[in-house]
Amino acid sequence: MSCGSLLGDSVDIGLILLDSSGNIRLWNRWIEQRAELTAAQASGLTLARAFGDHIDPRVVLVVREALDFGWSARLSHALHPMPLPLFPPGGERNERMKQSIDVTPVDADGTRCCLLQIRDVTETVRREALLKQQARQLRNDLQSLSRAQVELQRSEMRFRELARQAPAGLFEADSQACCTFLNERCEQILGHSRDCIARMPWVDLLPIDDQARVRSSWRLAVESATRFAEEVRYARPDGKYLWMRVEAGPLRDENERISGFIGTMVDVTEFHERASRNEFRANHDGLTSLLNRDRFERHLRAALSGAREVKDRVALLFIDLDHFKQINDTHGHQAGDIVLKAIAARVRRVLRSEDMVARYGGDEFAVLLNGMGDEPALRAIVIKITHAVALPINLGHCHVRIGCSIGMAVYPDNGDDPASLLTHADKAMYAAKRRRCEMTGTSTTLA
């Protein structure tokens, strides 16, 4: 097996290399599993013959443009969601997986070839749809509350009747914010009855840190006869914390002077928690809770920018688990998940609180060390990580051990931008992996 085939089979994307005639030269394992056609069967075939009539004609077109004119192209899942007849491995062939394809001209042995990189974006599409659905639901909820508030302000009699049944907390307060009316829902939110707080401003129930700001906002609304709106964290008497959205409009007496406010108190804790969960999912790996690749690279760019200003040094480590695939093959993917979570926790423990750790993809991790360009200190950290990773991991029915290969890059010694540092660390990691394989006499497969 060639080094190119080994490398192609180690990545978690599909790779297809076409020669100048459009015939398949490389067809990695990722494609085999999703097209149910081996590399040997596909070798020498065109894409149209390999995939039959089910291929999107636009794929053939951009491949021809890459070979004839050297043009690169991307078939985005937003416009071309399923260009190739690829299906989830091991599943039913009911629906093609969503794909994003990069078509790139490459030079091989002095002739122009074409490389197709296929990524499975099915989960990304699903998450985008879920986020859009949540956003629509939130918008609908807020619109419903706004319509309810407008309706309640139409008349005093209707307000009193609706207030008794309204799902939102309704209140009436004087210019000093002392409540003269609370409906049942409002009493539930505050954890106080109207009689308990009749002679005190409701603002005094808030955390001390928020009282001055909210009181100033209320005073401004009174003086300018405008609407009051604030969102605060509130501690109920039972110790439960919640987020509360308070909105109120001015009431005028017969002389058109401001006599008080009528408004709503809404428990928006669920919206805050949902936003926090969505933000966490957008920036962290779902399995290990470490930073994800995108967020890590943003931290790396920020760290390099800061290092340039203060003439500091930044170190980047790439960690790749050795023979992780054997654990998946022997004990199953659930065991593999246990190993990944255990390794993530161990790496996090041996680092400083200010250091950044990310799951970079598959069984690869990345570490960002600020102010750590000293060679002995870096070697000490590498040794700590290596020892922590090598400790036994309990799978419940047995213990397993796993090693790791670590590559290192230091700013500014090995590069002055994220791309060059990432490339250097990646190459150093693969060099370390090859040395370990040579020392142990094991296979040089990098999967």
Dump pLDDT digits (tens) for 58-106.
888 999 999 999 999 988 766 666 788 888 887 677 788 888 899 999 9
Report the mean per-residue pLDDT for the chain: 86
pLDDT at res. 153: 64
CA distance 401 to 327: 9
Name the residue among 306, 275, 298 with its Cα closest to residue 370. Answer: 306
Q: Does domain 3-120 have CATH number 3.30.450.20?
A: yes
pLDDT at 343 over 90: yes
- Strands of 131-279 (E only): list them: 169-173, 179-182, 228-235, 241-252, 258-267
CA distance 71 to 65: 6
pLDDT at 446 over 80: no
> How many Cα atoms sit within 13 Å of 69 on the Cβ side?
8
Of all residues in the chain, the percent with pLDDT exceeding 90 is: 35
CA distance 77 to 249: 47
pTM for the model stands at: 0.49
pLDDT at res. 447: 38
Query: Any idea where the domains of the chain sit in the sequence?
Result: 3-120, 128-273, 288-440
pLDDT in tens, 102-159: 999 998 878 999 999 999 888 888 888 899 999 899 888 888 877 867 775 666 666 6
Contact 76, 62 (CB under 8 A): no
Q: Could you tell me the CA-to-CA distances from 282 to 85, 272, 301, 438 in Å, in that order?
A: 29, 15, 18, 40
Domains 3-120 and 288-440 share a fold: no
Name the residue among 332, 351, 353, 333 with its Cα closest to residue 406. Answer: 351
Give residue 70's region: left, alpha or beta (phi > 0; psi -120 to 50): left
pLDDT in tens, 186-234: 888 888 887 887 778 888 888 888 888 999 999 898 888 889 998 888 8
Q: Which two tokens stand for residue 403?
A: 């090693």
Architecture of domain 128-273: 2-Layer Sandwich (3.30)
Residue the block writes with tokens 């999912």: 281
Q: How many CB atoms lie within 10 A of CB 128?
A: 13
pLDDT in tens, 414-432: 988 999 999 999 999 999 8
What Rg do the C-alpha atoms of the chain give, in angstroms?
Answer: 30
What is the fold of 288-440?
Answer: Alpha-Beta Plaits (3.30.70)
